[in-house]
């Protein structure tokens, strides 16, 4: 019986046991836990890698978004437009600034639908916040054009998109700021929660720098109300270790995406993500391999019986479908995506043969 889990955290540790043990030991021996050198180094490396001027580690990407929005002046009375094909965290970050999260539909690319954005603008709209989902950047030219036309701010939920590019520019660089998540399942994951903000705006940078640490400046003075939202130095040290191989990690993910494409394209009714070379504007990092499939739930069950783990992102519900949160909109396009999408296993443990086996199983299910 094959066993191909969707994630394989124990195997990830097993692959790096000695090196990681060294990392843990060094940090513990120095007692360097909060706001120490590994964090500073990691922030500098992310900045160099993305070409974005300022990077600040924070507790998680949800905090990163909330701090960004607050630093940018988003608050009570404002509306922020987001794409409902995302994690609820995008909306909750908006909500906890005091602003109203306004959902819009996704387009055929599963990313923010630009036409819907323009329709959702009201006099209260303050910002647009696309999600760079599955490691692919949305149509930022159109989003920036609309933002410009109506005088709106732009923020990015780029939690899934470290290193993804659009027309040569990194996710997180398009508006006032973006976030990255280091949740263990992310392409660059730590051993717990972690996140960062990315911004080219010095004002946002200065404010978030204070806000993440109780509002305290380097002189010890507290000049604004702050939070405790720091990225642990131990997590930063782990991230520095994995980041050494980040190009390789992305390369491997793109390779797996290509294997999946070659293995299952052409099945009737199955729609696959764009290939790695599908267009010159995008460089995708494949946080997920999200396929649209007929009889999704039956396929999931079938694969599970064959030892293949898959995941329905966010339990198969778009954000606006959580009616207890007060949403009243209906968005048939996104709702349909959520009903038919499935994430196939894509991680640093899966082998080419295993990907091949997953593809064979899928073909088997559809008698293809």
Ligand X SMILES: *Cc1c(COP(=O)(O)O)cnc(C)c1O
Greatest extent of the chain over all pairs of C-alpha atoms, in Å: 68
211: left (phi over 0), alpha (psi -120 to 50) or beta: alpha
Question: Binding residues for ligand X, how many (CB under 6 A)?
Answer: 15
Give the range of 84-92, 94-102, 200-208, 222-230 binding ligand X by CB under 6 A: 84-92
Residue of the chain from 8, 66, 181, 341 that contacts ligand X (CB under 6 A): 181
Give how far the C-alpha of residue 367 lies from the chain's centroid of Cα atoms, to the nearest Å. Answer: 34
C-beta of 240 vs 294, nearer to ligand X: 240
134 scored as a contact of ligand X (CB under 6 A): no
Q: Is 116 in the site for ligand X (CB under 6 A)?
A: no
User: With the C-alpha atoms ordered 117, 120, 125, 129, is the resulting torsion angle positive or negative?
Assistant: negative
Contact 360, 262 (CB under 8 A): no
- Minimum CB–partner distance for residue 181 and ligand X (Å): 3
* Least distance CB 183 / ligand X (angstroms): 4
When asked if residue 288 is in the footprint of ligand X (CB under 6 A), the reply is: no
Determine contact, residues 104/117, Cβ cutoff 8 Å: yes
Q: Which is nearer to ligand X, 111 or 361 (CB)?
A: 111
Interaction between residue 159 and ligand X (CB under 6 A): yes
Cα gap 85→82, rounded to integer Å:
9
Q: Looking at 50, 90, 100, 207, which residue binds ligand X (CB under 6 A)?
A: 90
Beta partners for residue 127, in sequence order: 80, 153
Stretch that binds ligand X, among 23-31, 39-47, 60-68, 139-147 (CB under 6 A): 60-68
Site for ligand X in 232-251 (CB under 6 A): none
- CA–CA distance, 319 with 99 (Å, rounded to integer): 16
CB of 288 to ligand X, least distance (A): 9
Q: With contact defined as beta carbons under 8 Å apart, do 195 and 181 qualify? A: yes
Nearer to ligand X, 55 or 264 (CB): 55
Decide if residue 62 touches ligand X (CB under 6 A).
yes
Comparing CB distances to ligand X, the nearer of 61 and 106 is 61
Q: How far is Cα 127 from Cα 312, in angstroms, rounded to an integer?
A: 29
DSSP 131: B
Q: Whose CA is closest to 246, among 14, 2, 50?
A: 50
Phi, psi of 37 (to 5 degrees): -60, -35
Stretch that binds ligand X, among 47-55, 73-81, 152-160, 231-239 (CB under 6 A): 152-160
286 forms part of the interface with ligand X (CB under 6 A): no
Q: Identify the burial level of 39 via C-beta atoms within 10 angstroms of its C-beta, where 0-12 means exposed, 13-18 middle and 19 or more buried.
A: buried
User: Which stretch of DSSP H or E encloses residue 342?
Assistant: strand 341-344
Cβ atoms of 126 and 354 closer than 8 Å? no
Q: Which of 61, 103, 55, 147 is nearest to 319 (CA)?
A: 103
Distance (Å, whole) CA 318 – CA 312: 11
Candidates 67, 83, 89, 190; binder of ligand X (CB under 6 A) is 89
Applying CB under 6 A, among 8, 84, 86, 233 the residue interacting with ligand X is 86
Does position 46 interact with ligand X (CB under 6 A)? The reply is no
- From 11-19, 82-90, 252-260, 299-307, span contacting ligand X (CB under 6 A): 82-90
Q: Kindly state whether residue 66 participates in binding ligand X, applying the rule CB under 6 A.
A: no
Pick the binder of ligand X from 8, 60, 84, 341 (CB under 6 A). Answer: 60
Q: Does 27 bind ligand X (CB under 6 A)?
A: no
The residue ranges that bind ligand X (CB under 6 A) are 60-62, 86-87, 89-90, 131, 157, 159-160, 181, 183, 193, 195
């Amino acid at each position: 019986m094959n066993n191909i889990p969707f994630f394989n955290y124990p195997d990830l540790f097993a692959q790096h046991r000695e090196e990681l043990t060294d990392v843990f030991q060094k940090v513990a021996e120095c007692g360097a836990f909060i706001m120490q050198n590994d964090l500073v180094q990691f922030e500098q490396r992310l900045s160099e890698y993305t070409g974005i001027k300022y990077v600040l580690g924070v507790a998680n990407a949800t905090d990163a978004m909330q701090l960004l929005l607050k630093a940018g002046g988003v608050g009570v009375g404002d509306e922020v437009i987001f794409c409902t094909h995302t994690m609820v965290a995008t909306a909750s970050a908006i909500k906890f600034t005091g602003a109203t999260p306004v959902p819009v539909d996704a387009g055929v690319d599963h990313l923010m639908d630009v036409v819907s954005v323009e329709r959702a603008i009201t006099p209260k709209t303050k910002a647009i916040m696309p999600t760079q989902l599955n490691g692919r950047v949305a149509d930022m030219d159109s989003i920036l054009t609309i933002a410009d036309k109506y005088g709106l701010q732009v923020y990015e939920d780029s939690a899934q998109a470290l290193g993804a590019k659009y027309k040569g520019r990194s996710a997180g660089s398009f508006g006032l700021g973006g976030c990255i998540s280091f949740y263990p399942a992310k392409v660059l994951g730590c051993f717990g929660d972690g996140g960062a903000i990315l911004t080219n705006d010095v004002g946002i940078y200065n404010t978030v720098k204070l806000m993440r640490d109780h509002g305290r400046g380097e002189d010890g003075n507290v000049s604004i109300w702050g939070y405790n939202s720091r990225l642990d130095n131990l997590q930063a040290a782990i991230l520095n270790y994995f980041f050494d191989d980040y190009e390789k990690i992305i390369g491997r993910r793109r390779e797996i995406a290509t294997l999946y494409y070659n293995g299952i394209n052409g099945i009737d009714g199955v729609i696959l993500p764009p290939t790695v070379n599908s267009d010159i504007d995008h460089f995708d990092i494949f946080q997920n391999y999200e396929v649209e499939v007929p009889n999704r739930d039956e396929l999931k069950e079938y694969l599970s019986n064959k030892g293949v783990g898959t995941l329905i992102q966010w339990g198969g519900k778009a954000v606006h479908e959580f009616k207890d949160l007060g949403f009243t909109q209906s968005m048939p396009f996104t709702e349909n995506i959520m009903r038919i999408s499935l994430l196939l296993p894509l991680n640093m443990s899966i082998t080419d043969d295993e990907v091949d086996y997953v593809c064979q199983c899928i073909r088997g299910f559809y008698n293809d």
